[in-house]
Chain A
């Protein structure tokens, strides 16, 4: 879809003097991964740490996020080991509480929120737009450093004894409990700014830096999804910041906002908290919708079914997502009337989500579906997210939520949505863009085996939790009544399989990174702009500003003679 523009004074400045090929190969121009290497290791490292290149920032985000993913994952394995039996045997109650808090806190604030937007998104967004970089490259680097600072505060809180409030920081527990909770609050507060910086950058970049010819409705759906995510990051995160700051002020100065002893109201905290944290669910899931939309179209060689519906449903989910926070609070003591209104509004989010599922499934119709690793993750996502979405109906319905609230049913539901949504789609996206990011191919057979192990491990881990929950097992229990032992045992075995699958994927990807075969510029036959540049891309992405002349899914295989496609 990209054509080199004729030389104009504007872009002639950027273009090197020598001849260039159709795909922008320049033998003498190093890729973004290696430029600066010739001056020695110290200066090469510095060239990464002070880079304003969105691709390098994306890779550094990727490494940081995966590091924390590993920490949170091992923590989960540790407490799944405890939960294999009803009696407390592996760790104390205190340690268990700190462990699940650590897992939740790291997964939400340090992994899933930045996972796709800041790591993958940073890498692909300007490339897909045909831009040289994001609108504010220095702000982009600042977001990474703010992320590290926030992470350092959280790590300090963990090393300083750990904290056991749960990632939800519910008051008055969080304002009265012992431990370095204030540091953890400040860590989450700081991480919010990193998220805001990224969101702001993406919104401006999408508005101002699309390639010539790329109207909003010619953007790949990944960009629509990142746009909707960025809107949510920008509008919701400040509310979390305010809430966490108020909790910290209550702890430090004894100002009564949420603690009834001081004249505050704990339910107010829940309102504030979920006003952010429900939209945050969409910060985590919308990028997944973007990835899946790209993958299903590219690997089915089809135009996406209902482009407009998917694009606009992302934005409408982001907006309606601000009006449903009270569905976390049906049994919290908020008024019955509020419960009714929030339940009603929640179903309005379900409709656009259902439309997306239909669209992805329908995209495969009449296509040429390749069963490669990215597509296996896509199918895996569709299966798991379908379960996650459908089980959400039990929780948005008030009568059933009364029974299921704060049980393992909820734990299973949000892992099917968050872990399948964010992590499985991320793995699909990582395998899809891996050749572009690192210029090497991974082993396709190992890739497929990995995807299948993860799929099986995931279901074995989380499906039994639905049954444990609907039969009444509360969440956040260190020991439990023996009736639930069988289901918890299965779940733990599943988590070991899942962990094995993830380590397996890590191993062959590391192998591919150093020993993999060189990747072609466009291994999947994608027609979006990121496939038109060199692999791995050069520092400035494109030698010439590309021009967008076709839709993002106008593949050469499409047989226009078959008739009545519209788009």
Chain B
């Protein structure tokens, strides 16, 4: 911690302005002018009130015990003026904020729709052609080793609508550089939209607290030129059609966030040496860990919960195809 100089504050604000992160989407125009309008008004009133207060406090400081003070107990006229002026200004703030919000809420009709699924603790983006981008920390690491980028890749100048949904608890999609945010929920769809104006890489955060690895539930938005995007999508689509290995699927599911393969109990039990063992369950019964049990525990984890653990694992039904489930069950089976 000693290595952090205060100069880091200056470094950190080189991107974007002092108050705002980089500006990389048309949606920033619905937020930034409103922000600076309020900032201007509030700064003016802050300075004015502090100046008047400081003046009064010093000008009317106690000088002696013989001080006599003014009998005034207020002025209805002044009070009325001081109520009406802020009321009018606040009405204008409400109005510009209202307009901006409505614009943020209504995506253009030609938007590219990308399904965005949040679960503990990663995001998955499903493109219209069926290609699925999984951004779990483990998967991103594997992809990086293979020289692949991980994140929400989008073309510049194209409106994009993210249709959000959660597999477990609440999460929230947030891209500071685009000034957009919306919670995702297990029981309904929510959406946000943007149209990137600059190529580059921007943070995509989860902003609704979701437990242990909330602060690791982050990925990137990668904005590319249309031609680069098309090439990328084609390549990824081809890759995703190839069958994946068990370890790739295990990484993709984010399984290692809770399940160790080295005998360490996490939020879930360690999975090495599981196959063939008798597992004691929370309801007092026990079950032999065979292929059926492992498969059931992936697609419907709360059906049989191991004693000592909470039923917190989200169901992975729909996350993996039938073939992928076979591969994954076989992979877990072989962890000694």
How many angstroms between the C-alpha atoms of A477 and B215 in the bound complex?
5
**Which residues of chain A are within 8 angstroms of B8 by Cβ–Cβ distance?**
485-486, 489
| A387 CA to B50 CA, complexed, in Å | 10
Q: Are B170's CB and A472's CB within 8 A?
A: no
Cα–Cα distance between A479 and B212 once the two chains are bound (Å): 11
In this complex, what residue of B is CB-closest to A175?
B169
When C-beta atoms are compared, the residue in chain B nearest to A355 turns out to be B83
Residues of B with C-beta under 8 A to A358? 49, 79, 82
Are A370 and B70 in contact (CB-based, < 8 A)?
A: no
Give complex CA distance A354, B190 in Å.
Answer: 36
A397 at the interface (CB under 8 A from B): yes
Query: Could you count the A-B residue pairs with CB atoms below 8 Å apart for me: how many are there?
Result: 324
Residues on B with beta carbons closer than 8 Å to the beta carbon of A467: 13, 18-19
- The interface residues of chain B, by DSSP majority, are classed as mixed
- CB pair A406–B181 under 8 Å, yes or no, is yes
B311 interfacial contact with A, CB 8 Å: yes
Q: Which of B180-216 contact A (CB under 8 A)?
A: 180-183, 185-188, 190, 203, 205-216
A263, closest chain B residue (CB) = B187
A333–B182 alpha-carbon span in the complex (Å): 7
Report chain B residues within 8 Å CB of A322: none
For residue A71, give the distance in angstroms from its CB to the closest CB of chain B.
22
Q: Which residue of A lies closest to B52 (CB)?
A: A361
Answer yes or no: A94 CB below 8 A from chain B CBs: yes
**Whole-angstrom CA separation of A382 from B174 in the bound complex:** 34
Q: Chain A residues with Cβ under 8 A from B177's Cβ? A: 472
B83-114 contacts to A (CB < 8 Å): 83, 86-87, 90-91, 93-94, 96-105
A364 to B59 alpha-carbon distance, docked (Å) = 9
A351 at the binding interface (Cβ < 8 Å): yes
* A555–B169 CB distance below 8 A: no
Stretch at the interface among A275-283, A297-305, A507-515: A297-305
A540 interfacial contact with B, CB 8 Å: no
Contact present for A405 and B71 (CB under 8 Å): no
Bound form: Cα–Cα A303–B100 in Å: 44
Which residues of the partner chain B approach A399 to less than 8 Å between Cβ atoms? 30-31, 34, 96-101, 103-104
> Which of A16-24, A336-344, A430-438 faces chain B?
A336-344
| Size class of the B contact interface (CB-based, 8 Å) | 35 or more
A94 to B102, CA, bound (A): 38
Q: What A residues does B96 contact at CB under 8 A?
A: 397, 399
Contact assessment for A336 and B101 in the assembled complex, using a CB-CB cutoff below 8 Å: yes
- Which residues from 203 to 231 on chain B have a C-beta closer than 8 Å to any C-beta of chain A? 203, 205-216, 218
Interface string of A454-480 (1 = CB under 8 A from B): 000000000010010011101111111
B46 pairs with A303, CB closer than 8 A: no
> How many chain A residues have a CB neighbour from B under 8 Å?
108
Set of chain A residues within 8 Å of B52, measured between Cβ atoms: 361
Does A139 sit at the interface, judged by CB under 8 A?
A: no
Contact for B176 among A393, A397, A471, CB less than 8 A: A471
Residues on the B chain within 8 Å of A176, using CB: 168-169, 310-312
Residue with the highest number of chain B CB atoms closer than 10 Å, among A386, A464, A472, A486 = A472
B4 to chain A, nearest CB (A): 5
Q: How far is the CB of B210 from chain A (nearest CB, A)?
A: 6
A40 at the interface (CB under 8 A from B): no
Looking at the assembled complex, report how far the CB atom of B325 sits from the nearest CB atom of chain A, in whole angstroms: 21
> In this complex, what residue of A is CB-closest to B186?
A260
Smallest Cβ distance from B174 to chain A, in angstroms? 7
- Interface flag for B270 (CB, 8 Å): no
Question: CA separation between A173 and B120, bound complex, in Å?
Answer: 11
Shortest Cβ gap from B69 to chain A (Å): 5
- Whether B49 pairs with A386 at a CB distance below 8 angstroms is yes
Bound complex: CA of A76 vs CA of B11, how far in Å?
27
Tell yes or no: A166 within 8 A of B by CB. Answer: yes
Would you give the 0/1 interface string for B13-53, flagging 1 where the beta carbon is closer than 8 Å to chain A? 10110111100000000110011001101100110011011
Residues of A close to B56: CB separation below 8 A? 361-362, 364-365, 367, 369
B63 within 8 A of A: yes
Say yes or no: A476 contacts B187, CB within 8 Å: no
**Are A398 and B98 closer than 8 Å at their CB atoms?**
yes
- Which of A130-138, A225-233, A527-535, A558-566 forms part of the interface with chain B? A558-566
CA distance A89 to B3 in the complex (A): 14
Extra 5 A-B pairs, beta carbons < 8 Å, given A336-B101, A367-B70, A397-B34: A340-B101, A362-B56, A400-B100, A483-B12, A557-B68
A-B contact pairs, 5 of them (CB 8 A): A306-B73, A340-B98, A474-B174, A486-B10, A564-B71
Complex A-B, nearest 8 residue pairs according to Cβ-Cβ distance, in ascending order:
A472-B176, A399-B100, A366-B70, A397-B97, A486-B8, A565-B71, A398-B101, A260-B187
